[in-house]
């Protein structure tokens, strides 16, 4: 079953980020989790929809990932998308920031594949400040080989710095995005050399849900409560869904 990612989004300036972290830590009564994630954006050489080359092999496996691979296979057979390969590089960044030589990324790092659909169109069933979209996550050490066999290549790369907390299944994540500008993306340079995408952080307040009407109403109600609780502190805005469109459209003839 494909899950839905349902969330609120607010911009937080660099100057206000320390106060936001202190506030979220106090509200959730937990210590923040500081993490760095390298993100590789992937797309096929041919933009036409196509199935995964190793689908039959993957579908035969008796593992939780088998059904996820099947779901992704069906999706990509109908529409091409940009996918994400996500790798935790927190330890490598700590080494680089300490003045050590740029550490190479270990080939044994477990990658996470993430597919996001573009957000659902707005309807009267939920408020415009809530975004919801289908998502699939697959953790598989063979990820690079599987995607290479299906002719996926690197479109671009970035690093995400994040602080996260949770309360009652609600995830609070304050994230800053950086370009990877080095000619050797397999080595992590110290943080002073990174180029931020913008002088701000993005606060995501997320829940995950199946698409049953009752569960979706519960999730939407939780996010409405969060928005009301932080009214006047965080400005959870309405964003154009086209800015989060991950589809690859075929060129017109």
* Span 127-149, pLDDT tens digits: 999 999 999 999 998 898 899 99
The secondary structure of 129-183 as a DSSP string is T-EEEEEEEEE-TTHHHHHHHTTEEEEEEEEEEEEEEEETTEEEEEEEEEE---S
Q: How far apart are CA 17 and CA 196, in angstroms?
A: 15
What pLDDT digit, counting tens, does each position of 79-121 carry? 999 999 999 999 889 988 888 776 677 666 789 999 999 999 9
What is the reported pTM? 0.92
Is residue 135 within 8 A of residue 4, CB to CB? The reply is: yes
Residues 6+ apart with CB under 8 A from 240: none
Q: Residue 32's pLDDT is what?
A: 98
The top-level CATH class assigned to 3-248 is mainly beta
Q: Return mean pLDDT, the chain.
A: 91
Would the pLDDT of 183 be above 60? no
Instruction: Tell me the CA distances in angstroms from 173 to 7, 176, 198, one per residue in order.
Output: 11, 10, 17
Instruction: Tell me the CA distances in angstroms from 192 to 93, 129, 171, 180, 229, one per residue in order.
Output: 11, 34, 28, 12, 36
Percent of the chain with pLDDT over 70: 94
Percent of the chain with pLDDT over 90: 65
Q: What angle do CA 208, 62, 59 make, to 5 degrees?
A: 80
Residue boundaries of the structural domains of the chain: 3-248
């Amino acid at each position: 079953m494909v899950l839905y990612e349902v969330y609120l989004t607010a911009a937080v300036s660099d100057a206000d980020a320390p106060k936001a972290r202190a506030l979220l830590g106090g509200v959730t009564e937990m210590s923040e989790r500081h993490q760095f994630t390298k993100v590789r954006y992937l797309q096929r050489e041919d933009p036409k929809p196509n199935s995964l080359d190793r689908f039959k092999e993957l579908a035969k496996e008796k593992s939780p990932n088998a059904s996820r691979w099947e779901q992704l296979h069906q999706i990509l057979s109908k529409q091409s998308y940009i996918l994400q390969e996500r790798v935790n590089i927190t330890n490598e960044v700590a080494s680089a920031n300490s003045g050590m030589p740029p550490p190479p990324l270990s080939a044994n790092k477990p990658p996470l594949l993430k597919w996001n659909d573009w957000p659902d169109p707005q309807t009267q069933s939920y408020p415009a400040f809530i975004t919801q979209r289908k998502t699939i996550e697959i953790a598989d050490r063979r990820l690079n080989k599987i995607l290479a066999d299906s002719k996926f290549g690197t479109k671009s790369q970035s690093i995400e710095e994040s602080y996260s907390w949770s309360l009652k299944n609600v995830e609070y994540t304050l994230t800053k995005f950086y370009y990877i500008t080095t000619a050797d993306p397999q080595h992590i340079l110290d943080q002073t050399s990174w180029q931020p995408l913008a002088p701000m952080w993005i606060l995501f307040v997320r829940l995950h849900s199946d698409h049953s009407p009752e569960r979706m109403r519960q999730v939407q109600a939780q996010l409405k409560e969060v928005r009301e609780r932080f009214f006047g502190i965080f400005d959870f805005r309405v964003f154009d869904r086209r800015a989060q469109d991950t589809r690859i459209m075929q060129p017109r003839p």
